A = this chain, B = another copy of it.
Amino acid sequence: MLKLTRKLEYALIALRHMQDKGDTFISAKEIADMYLIPQELLAKTLQQMVKLNYIKAAQGPHGGYRVRKGLTEISMTQFMEDLEGPIGIVDCNINAECIQLENCNIRLPIKKINSNIRAIFNEIRVGDITS
């Protein structure tokens, strides 16, 4: 209940590590080894972040990834939703396909809570975690 995904954690750990190293390219292997993260899984995540323009990749020997400027200003809400899809503590906050929906007597108060949680992540920037 209410868990972040492992992928998000790995992404943040990697970002922080890369940020510490400045402009040099860091390989997925280096990070995977250092933090005991499954390499293939981390690689996939980093590749996703390349597509999102969060980081820049360099191929070939001595290649790897480095963080793009400006990433730290992105809100955690955007970061999380880019990587994992919309945040919603219940189904009707995402796609509305719930058989209880029509008679549901808790929908509105729950929606309020969802807003509160989103608000928390809106006020946190990626840089607050990775710097």
Write the residues of chain A forming the contact surface with B, with a CB cutoff of 8 angstroms.
Answer: 1-5, 8-9, 12-13, 16-17, 20, 34-37, 76, 80, 84-85, 87-90, 99-100, 103-106, 109-110, 113, 116-117, 120-121, 124, 128-130
Contacts and interface: CB of A to CB of B under 8 A. Distances in A.
A4 to B, nearest CB: 5
List the number of copies, as a whole number. 2
A2 B87 contact: yes
B129 A13 contact: no
A17 B105 contact: yes
15 contacts: A2-B88, A3-B90, A9-B90, A9-B106, A9-B110, A12-B106, A16-B105, A35-B100, A35-B103, A106-B130, A113-B120, A113-B121, A113-B124, A116-B120, A117-B120
Interface-centre pick from A1, A99, A116, A121 (highest chain B CB count, 10 A): A1
